[in-house]
A and B are shown apart, each in its own frame.
Chain A
């Protein structure tokens, strides 16, 4: 059996090509899954007994929340790989993930607020999960601010990598402390993100939307990392030979 070269695609040039092939597929999957998920969530699924039709917001809120956390862990993972193996591409991937992760966090907060208003009467509730999401947004913003403040790209890579790793270690502690704080101050009854007891169709809709978000995130992150590669590898011969092309949705 031939040895697998795990680092074959670690060269930015090679990954550029691979990502370019993957973007259209991920984009197509996102569109198909998204339309299917929206069909289920907005058109087919019945209303909820307690929350009436406002519950349909979970079809965005829950997938966005999941993605915000998954993307942060992915960002920290690639940051760590970049530090350990001194791999530029891994750092570029982390760099590419951050804006999408921040966006997902924002959507989680926005939809959480819009869900909280009809359900609990206020635009913002200091619900444990929403508060943790807010802090996660600050962590994303901190990561991007640090990158932006440092001019040297490699120093920016490594510094933001340390920050991401410190952050990911901290996230469970933050979540735990916020949970603690919330149960003391408000009682467990106020929970915006508690989904109604799920009929099978609702669960299906949520999972399809989650997959759609995942596909979207892959497409966008791969497209962005291709741009980052081109921006940062400008001196390289292979970049100069590129025609203005590249898959973008």
Chain B
């Protein structure tokens, strides 16, 4: 099977299981809506909280959707086929992560403006929020793939995956939320943004290798 075939297959499967895809997005919205209830709804306060809250909610929603990257394929034997295929495993991983991101991270990034409005963020801040999420959620999917590969078939994989991945992606959170806060405060966000981009490039190159190694370890 070619990487492209895997990519299309995963997209088709995600489309058939729309409920799973939407559930993560709905979780995203619910979590972001909880914070004002807990912390108070003063507009100035919310405007300060907004970028961070939306980013943390995106992080958690991404973690929730990660296990299904490999879980279903592991159960029906497709994953073993992928390990045996002549196509390099990192490439297959990249294809799966790409399809997964289109059905999760991308959705979150596009849903974010709605939440941003709830927090009273203005136009430029909303734009930066979407942009940073578009750059950051792929990193979450890539690093999350390593966690998913390590925990295939393990008891309590979902929570364990979050435990393993969340500390590793804190830089993404820092630079992503930081960029939005900078824009909201009228400051320059170039530094945050470039670092986020650099992290994405590094993750795109390195994570598939690590995830592929982890898959072989999990399935041999």
Contacts and interface: CB of A to CB of B under 8 A. Distances in A.
Interface of A: 135, 138-139, 141-142, 145-146, 149-150, 155, 158-159, 162-163, 165-167, 169-170, 173-174, 176-178, 180-181, 184
B114 interface: no
Contacts of B178: 180-181, 184
Interface stretch (B26-34, B61-69, B167-175): B167-175
Contact of B166 (A138, A158, A176): A138
Contact of A173 (B146, B160, B199): B199
B150 interface: yes
A108 B163 CA distance: 21
A177 B217 contact: no
A158 B217 contact: yes
B171 A174 contact: yes
29 contacts: A135-B170, A138-B167, A141-B163, A142-B163, A142-B164, A145-B164, A146-B151, A146-B160, A146-B164, A149-B151, A149-B154, A149-B155, A149-B156, A155-B218, A155-B220, A159-B218, A162-B146, A162-B150, A163-B164, A169-B206, A170-B171, A173-B171, A173-B199, A174-B170, A176-B171, A177-B195, A178-B170, A178-B174, A180-B178
A141 B155 CA distance: 17
Contact of B174 (A139, A170, A181): A181
Contacts of A170: 168, 171
Contacts of A146: 150-151, 160, 164
A135 B217 contact: no
B198 to A, nearest CB: 10
A177 B171 contact: yes
A139 B167 contact: yes
Contacts of B146: 162, 166
A173 B168 CA distance: 9
B213 interface: yes
Contacts of A142: 163-164, 167
Given A177-B195, A178-B170, 10 more contacts: A139-B167, A139-B168, A142-B164, A145-B163, A146-B150, A166-B168, A174-B170, A180-B175, A180-B178, A181-B174
B46 interface: no
A135 B174 CA distance: 13
Contact of B154 (A150, A166, A173): A150
A150 B213 CA distance: 16
B202 to A, nearest CB: 9
B150 A177 contact: no
B214 interface: yes
B55 to A, nearest CB: 13
A149 B171 contact: no
B150 A163 contact: yes
A94 to B, nearest CB: 14
B200 interface: no
Contact of A145 (B160, B171, B174, B217): B160
A101 B199 CA distance: 27
B115 interface: no
Contacts of B220: 155
Interface in B159-190: 160, 163-164, 166-168, 170-171, 174-175, 178
A158 B164 CA distance: 15
A177 to B, nearest CB: 4
Interface in B32-79: none
Contacts of B156: 149
Contacts of A163: 150, 164
A7 to B, nearest CB: 23
